[in-house]
Amino acid sequence: MTTTTASALLSVLIDAKQPDVLNHLPFDGITPLRVPLAAGSLNLIAHDGALLGIERLPVESLPMAIRRGTLADRAAALKALTPWAYLVIVGELAPLRNGKAVIAGQPSGWDWRSVQGALASVQELGVVVLEAGTDQQFGELLVSLAKRERGAVRVSPLREVLFTTPAEQLLCSIPGIGEDTAETLIQSCGSAAFALVALTNPAHAPKGIGPKTIASARAALGLTDQQSLSVDSQPS
């Protein structure tokens, strides 16, 4: 449902890192401003004063965002900024009969179900996922979103947002260590420091950590066969 206001938007802020093409989109007659944004590609102030957080993601950048695990982080940042949060995929995204995905008009090796699963996770955080074929359509979509009626009824996200801690990020830099494993290691070892000691010493390998992961951890830290990590406790 839309309103009949004379202007859908009061202001348009575009992140300084976004491409110049966004400067020329039809924002309902509003001249956009370029500023560093804390979250999102664009922040819109709608006619009713609502802040709309928009993450613009070119479809060709989608696989890398999924691979690096940044898609959920960007969605969480938007959700923390405003309840009116949207991820807009710009470009062609479609399934093939063989179960793979067409990305930016080209067949890819990405499994369609994996792509949709990643986008479903974003929506479960409370961020609406939309698609636009071109940047022109992207601009028209933003004006349409600004015109929407925003009543008092809202629903909570299906999932709670859990941010990765700096200690977990440190362990995730080790090849073979994902977020779940990093969390488990810190819980069982007590800290990232002791987790690194365990990860680089076969004699103290945590449950579920095999020789390949230990070798990768040692290589990442530059340890030779004669070197090992330890944590010394200094007297108080």
Give dist(CA 163, CA 76) in Å, integer. Answer: 8
Using pLDDT thresholds of 50, 70 and 90, give the confidence band for residue 223: confident
Give dist(CA 145, CA 142) in Å, integer. Answer: 5
Give dist(CA 223, CA 2) in Å, integer. Answer: 62
Greatest mean pLDDT among 47-56, 62-71, 195-204, 217-226: 47-56
Across the chain, mean pLDDT equals: 86
Give dist(CA 9, CA 43) in Å, integer. Answer: 11
Give dist(CA 164, CA 179) in Å, integer. Answer: 8
Q: What is the DSSP letter of 40?
A: S
The answer, yes or no, to whether residue 58 has pLDDT greater than 80, is: yes
Would you state the pLDDT for residue 162?
Answer: 62
Comparison of pLDDT for 13 and 182, the residue scoring more: 13
pLDDT digits (tens, 9 = 90+) for 76-120: 999 999 999 999 999 999 999 999 999 998 999 999 999 999 999
Structure token pair of residue 111:
């499994």
Using pLDDT thresholds of 50, 70 and 90, give the confidence band for residue 3: very low
Structure token pair of residue 141:
């979509």
- For the four alpha carbons of 129, 119, 184 and 229, in that order, the dihedral sign comes to negative
pTM: 0.65
Q: How far is CA 166 from CA 145, 171, 220, in A?
A: 35, 9, 18
Q: What is the DSSP string of 57-122?
A: EEGGGHHHHHHHTHHHHHHHHHHHH-SEEEEEEES-EEE-TTSEEEETTEEEEEEHHHHHHHHHHH
pLDDT digits (tens, 9 = 90+) for 104-163: 989 999 999 999 999 999 999 999 999 999 999 999 999 999 998 887 655 666 666 566
The answer, yes or no, to whether residue 2 has pLDDT greater than 50, is: no
Centre a 10 Å sphere on the Cβ of residue 228 and count the other Cβ atoms it contains: 13
